[in-house]
């Protein structure tokens, strides 16, 4: 029996369907918490409403007795029922001691302890995203686990970087190659074996001799690598910005590629994620006019609390949260005679819109560049909500540092950015680059090394 905590249903409203043949139990206290959080336009409220609708759909017209016993979970019209869903009424724990019931967490743990005494032959497991809740449960004798369904990796180090680095020369590892030249493009057809078998579409190959290649096609036994010239990559100027290293150069290659509709950029603070994305977006809207506008958004707080307490319009309310965008605009024009005038000119010239996540649901952005800043703080469900807003001819750019997660119930492994990077690694129109640290200030370097 898997008993779900409230934060699991907020994190993934479809969690009810992810326990296969096992019984899923929702405590009455969890329903009460969902009810108290369902009002408003915040993302958390929308997730609560979705979870409640899913519970109602699965229970259908079942009688109270059937709900208490467990209603079979039907996942499709022709699919056989698998597992069961039931609602657990709060039960007084009859043991020698119980947790004080002034907290909802304690009520749930006491109820599970009582359930455990009634079903001694069955495993009863609490599933919660709250570490402290799991600690309290285990301390009280109730088994507890994290929600692992959206964790596609066991170790964050296994997350692809978007490139494979070879010591010395890449060609030293290759026995046979077929090279094709057409329309100024050089492509190498190689056998897909060894390290090459792990490469995915739009991943890069880099060696110490200066070779840079990009995987343009992947077959069962062959792989095609397009030859890119390092000199051209390193000297490509985008809205006055020139890459500082090869990692920034290949990131710009993905950002400027019209056939790439999704770009994930990860890396530590100061690695250049935002400034690269912004320079590329301005270039593609003002200079080449491939896109009509730039949409910038981010989660304003841990679970996307209401932005209504700040004065002004939606754009003015979002401006403090999207200060990194303005900071990088200033950095792009710091050598201008009048930086302030240049930034004001760009903001008036470039159709740059600051949008709150709370009001993105239900919209569709056509021919737009959508920048999601601090996307490591979003759940897989939240980031999917934003990406599905991308209409015809739009491109989504996700920026984030997986070492800086501020949302209470998220870790690097369960972050929406990690989920997206792993799920889209074989997407022919997507790409991911993990940027290396670029020297910032002496103060920042000292702080990172010693604090």
Residue 304 has a pLDDT of 43
Closest CA to 268 of 148, 447, 419: 447
Residue 250 has a pLDDT of 97
Residue 317 has a pLDDT of 54
pLDDT tens, residue order, the chain (451 aa) = 999 999 999 999 999 999 989 999 999 999 999 999 998 777 788 889 999 999 999 999 999 999 989 999 988 777 888 999 999 987 665 555 677 888 889 999 988 988 888 888 889 999 999 999 999 999 988 999 999 888 878 778 889 999 999 999 999 989 899 999 988 899 999 999 988 999 999 999 999 999 999 999 999 999 999 999 999 999 999 988 899 999 999 999 999 999 999 999 999 888 889 899 999 999 999 888 999 999 888 765 543 444 445 555 655 554 555 566 777 777 777 777 777 777 777 777 778 887 777 667 667 889 999 999 889 998 888 888 888 888 899 999 999 999 888 888 888 888 999 999 999 999 999 999 999 866 667 787 777 778 7
Both tokens assigned to 339? 């930086």
DSSP state of 141: T
Residue 303 has a pLDDT of 34
**Residues 408, 303 contacting (CB under 8 angstroms):** yes
Tell me, yes or no, if the pTM score tops 0.85. Answer: no
Domain residue spans of the chain: 2-146, 241-449
Residue 364 has a pLDDT of 84
Residue 319 has a pLDDT of 58
Pairing of strands 222-228, 212-218: antiparallel
Residue 359 has a pLDDT of 66
Within 13 Å and on the Cβ side, how many CA atoms surround 178? 7
Asked if the 2-146 domain carries CATH number 3.40.50.1010, the reply is: yes
Closest CA to 117 of 149, 143, 95: 95
**Residues 394, 367 contacting (CB under 8 angstroms):** yes
From the centroid of its chain, how far is CA 212?
A: 28
Residue 10 has a pLDDT of 92
Residue 353 has a pLDDT of 81
Instruction: Looking at the structure, give the CATH architecture of the domain made up of residues 241-449.
Output: 3-Layer(aba) Sandwich (3.40)
Q: C-alpha dihedral over 143, 149, 155, 157, to 10 degrees?
A: -160
Number of H helices, E strands in the chain: 15, 18
Which residues are CB-neighbours of 179 under 8 A, at least 6 positions away? 186, 187, 188, 189
Q: What is the 3-state secondary structure (H, E, C) of 425-446?
A: CCCCCEEEEEECCCCCCHHHHH
On the question of a common fold for 2-146 and 241-449, the answer reads yes
Identify each DSSP E strand in 16-102 by its residue range. 23-27, 71-72, 84-88
């Amino acid at each position: 029996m898997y008993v779900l905590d409230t934060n699991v249903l907020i994190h993934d409203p479809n969690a009810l369907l992810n326990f296969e043949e096992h019984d899923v139990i929702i405590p009455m206290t969890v329903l009460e918490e969902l009810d108290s959080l369902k009002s408003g336009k915040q993302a958390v409220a929308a997730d609560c409403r979705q979870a409640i609708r899913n519970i109602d759909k699965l229970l259908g017209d079942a009688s109270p007795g059937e709900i208490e016993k467990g209603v079979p979970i039907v996942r499709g019209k022709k699919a056989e029922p698998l597992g069961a869903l039931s609602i657990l009424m709060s039960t007084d724990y009859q043991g020698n001691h119980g947790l004080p019931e002034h907290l909802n967490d304690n009520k749930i743990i006491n109820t599970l302890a009582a359930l455990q005494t009634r079903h001694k032959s069955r495993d009863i497991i609490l599933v919660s995203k709250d570490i402290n809740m799991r600690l309290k449960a285990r301390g009280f004798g109730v088994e507890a686990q994290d929600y692992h369904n959206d964790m596609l990796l066991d170790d964050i180090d296994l997350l692809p970087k978007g490139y494979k680095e070879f010591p010395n020369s890449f060609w030293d590892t290759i026995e046979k190659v077929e090279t094709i030249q057409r329309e100024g493009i050089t492509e190498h057809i190689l056998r897909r074996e060894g390290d090459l078998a792990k490469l995915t579409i739009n991943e890069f190959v880099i060696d110490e001799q200066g070779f840079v290649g990009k995987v343009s096609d992947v077959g069962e036994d062959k792989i095609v690598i397009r030859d890119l010239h390092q000199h051209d990559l390193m000297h490509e100027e985008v809205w006055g910005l020139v890459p500082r290293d090869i990692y920034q150069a290949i990131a710009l290659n993905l950002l400027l590629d019209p056939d790439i509709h999704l770009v994930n950029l990860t890396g530590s603070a100061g690695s250049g994620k935002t400034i690269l994305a912004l320079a590329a977006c301005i270039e593609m809207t003002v200079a080449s006019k491939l896109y009509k506008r730039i949409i910038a958004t981010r989660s304003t707080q841990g679970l996307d609390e209401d932005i209504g307490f700040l004065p002004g319009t939606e754009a003015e309310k979002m401006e403090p949260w999207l200060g990194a965008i303005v900071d990088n605009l200033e950095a792009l024009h710091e050598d201008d005679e009048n930086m302030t005038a240049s930034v004001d000119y760009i903001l008036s010239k470039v159709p740059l819109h600051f949008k709150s996540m709370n009001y993105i649901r239900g919209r569709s952005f056509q021919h737009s560049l959508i920048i999601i800043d601090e996307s490591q703080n979003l759940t897989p469900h939240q980031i999917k909500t934003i990406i599905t807003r991308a209409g015809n001819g739009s491109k989504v750019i996700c920026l984030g540092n997986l070492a800086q997660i501020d949302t209470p119930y998220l870790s690097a492994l369960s972050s929406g950015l990690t989920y997206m990077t792993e799920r889209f690694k074989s997407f022919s129109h997507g790409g991911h680059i993990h940027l290396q640290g670029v020297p910032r200030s002496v103060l920042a370097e000292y702080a990172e090394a010693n604090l």
